[in-house]
Amino acid sequence: MFTKAIVRTPSKSIVDGITSANLGKPVYEKALAQHADYVEALIECGLDVTILAAEEDYPDACFVEDVALMTPHCAIITNPGAESRKGETQSMIATVEDFYDRVEFIEAPGTVEAGDIMMVGEHYYIGLSDRTNGIGAMQMINYLEKHGMSGSTVNMSEMLHLKTGLSYLENNHLLATGEFVSKPEFEKYDMLEIPSEEEYAANSVWVNDTVLTPKGFPQAKAIIEKTGYKIREIDVSEFQKLDGGLSCLSLRF
Ligand code: GLY
């Protein structure tokens, strides 16, 4: 069960966020409204939500998931692989230290964005992406082991982050699309395959037996409904324009 979440209000500079999506620029006012509904959904799931102020210097800073990994035993501040995002960690440190006594740090030349990390109980899968390198992943695994957990790396080549195409929905349910569907390390899970035309919805989030899923993906919704969880749809079209998924918008712990 999760009890808390941290989010960051989108900044006006969100229009300058990194993107490969070709969906146009996000509309700031619409992003704000969608973000407010996202916060409401987290509250509906029973979470205490800490809302951090917008950071105009960092257009992608609302994607807070990338800058920290919050585990039950420690928090790890990452070192984002995207140059324009490295500074996002600075203001997150004090917030994380409000919640955790044990805080570790990924150090250069290691890079990690925690959108590349999927938690399954006490084990953490770490995608080796353009944003997370092998040195960063090894630092992360060492910290996880130091605090009684474990980690392993996943080779990947098609997606921005591991969780762009993969979401663990607890009770052995694994939502997957594209290259992740056939990976041997995920064979032991009950695979819920999301078709490529709805791949964006492979990034959905389990929060206390509700699955938050992006609005507008009916096939994915029908597939997730098979789990028996309650489903809460959220329109996140403005964040999709920046390659950002639902999970990217919060730290849940
Ligand atoms: N726009 C989100 C990212 O590229 O990290």
Alpha-carbon gap, residue 15 to 23, rounded angstroms: 12
pLDDT of residue 216: 98
Q: Is the CB of 239 under 6 A from ligand 1?
A: no
pLDDT at 93: 98
**Residue 88, ligand 1, Cβ within 6 A:** no
CA distance 67 to 94: 13
Compute the distance from residue 51 Cα to the ligand 1 centre, in Å. 20
**What pLDDT is recorded for position 170?**
98
C-alpha 168 chain-centroid distance = 11
> What confidence score (pLDDT) does residue 192 get?
98
Give all domains of the chain, ordered by start, each with its CATH number: 4-252 (3.75.10.10)
pLDDT value, residue 70:
98
Low-confidence ranges of the chain (pLDDT < 70): none
Catalytic residues: 161, 248
Chain position carrying tokens 């570790």: 104
**63 touches ligand 1 (CB under 6 Å):** yes
Distance CA 123, CA 144 (A): 9
What pLDDT score was predicted for residue 50?
98
Our answer on whether the CB atom of 114 is closer than 6 Å to any ligand 1 atom is no
Asked whether 18 lines ligand 1 (CB < 6 A), one says: yes
Q: What is the pLDDT of residue 64?
A: 98
Distance 161 CA to ligand 1 centre (A): 9
Q: Which two tokens stand for residue 250?
A: 């919060």
- The CA 87 to ligand 1 mean position distance, Å, reads 14
Structure confidence at residue 175 (pLDDT)? 98
Query: What is the residue with the minimal CA distance to atom 3 of ligand 1?
Result: 18
